[in-house]
Copies of this chain bind each other. A is one copy, B any other.
């Protein structure tokens, strides 16, 4: 197997430096060419040539003049939000969320649709995802805007080829979602990717979550399942088969961590009548009932929150000591219950916070994954 860097050529140097300038403007714009040169260490002639290229690719644009430090007016540069769109779709057991953002991070659309989840055959589910993706791409692509890519986030094990190996929340196994989407979308011009939902939510937190550019961030998703997205040393961990972060499957004393600290288990313990009418499929109202019961001082709900919180604390402890994150972000249904769960869990020295992105974090992260590729130097081709 391959280790270490790949052979490089001079085109790679140019691509790397284009990406360095693009990232600098994203983080610090508006900024002048001289400012870019000073901050990156690239010389001014190189910066001018790189900026010209990025303007031609419609990734940067010039804005008004501003005084620079020595008093001469300089043309300032910002990201050009007008030319491109990145699309993310989140799939859960009961709904789809589609988000499109431009290069500057502005949301172009945010749609939520009901989704049959495990009630329907995988084929029908795939068709619904493809239809929503097609409509989102058509909408985002109006007024000459080019769609750069689409990433679909799925709860479950997704391999490196974009096939869903297994998803308990959807009742799927071995569904070639990326392949099926490419077919349904008739081999679109833009890139299509499929990823685990917690991985994408972690990317969303890294880019938009307000964690000061933390390079070590863990996202712990309380959804139908219990999954984590792991960013260590600035990179999302993938592992041997692409199956990192399956924290719910860890076997501990008393059961798996999902059985001990998952949202489904919490609902069953806190609400005696939760599955009186069959298994819970729509979690949001049940979680709201748990929160309401806790707020009203209901002893059963409070005990369930304490017990699940204690086990959640084991999860936080192991994430903290194994991966040394700067921040652990609780997402999904953990957010409305955090005021009870976190005190019961304890943080064991970790910095623990709740997601401010809210529902659809994996959709936002799907778009972020497309933009991350730009930041890594995979730039759109110059228009013919």
Contacts and interface: CB of A to CB of B under 8 A. Distances in A.
A344 to B, nearest CB: 13
Contacts of A247: 318, 321-322
A251 to B, nearest CB: 4
Interface string A234-248: 110111111111111
Q: Is the interface of A mostly helix, strand, loop or mixed?
A: loop
A44 interface: no
A376 B238 CA distance: 21
Interface stretch (A16-24, A65-73, A88-96, A333-341): A16-24
Interface stretch (A3-11, A130-138, A142-150): A3-11
B322 A230 contact: yes
A374 to B, nearest CB: 10
A12 interface: yes
Contacts of A326: 240
Interface in A339-358: 348
A232 interface: yes
Contacts of A249: 317, 321
Contact of A237 (B228, B232, B241): B232
B324 A243 contact: yes
Contacts of A242: 324
Contact of A10 (B13, B41, B251, B322): B13
Nearest to A245: B322
Given A1-B214, A244-B232, A252-B252, A237 B323 contact: yes
A238 B234 CA distance: 10
Interface string A364-379: 0000000000011100
Interface residues of A, number: 63
A253 interface: yes
Q: How many copies does the complex hold?
A: 2
Contacts of A20: 4-8
Nearest to A242: B324
Interface string A180-221: 000000000000000000000000000000001111100000
A244 B324 contact: yes
A250 interface: yes
A323 B42 contact: no
A40 B319 CA distance: 39
6 contacts: A4-B375, A8-B20, A12-B13, A233-B238, A240-B325, A247-B321
Given A6-B16, A232-B244, 11 more contacts: A1-B214, A4-B376, A7-B20, A7-B41, A8-B12, A10-B10, A233-B237, A237-B323, A243-B324, A245-B322, A253-B254
State the 9 A-B residue pairs at the shortest beta-carbon distance, nearest first: A239-B324, A8-B16, A216-B240, A243-B324, A246-B321, A251-B317, A240-B326, A249-B321, A1-B213
Interface of A: 1, 3-10, 12-13, 16-17, 19-20, 23, 40-42, 212-216, 228, 230, 232-235, 237-254, 313-314, 317-319, 321-326, 348, 375-377
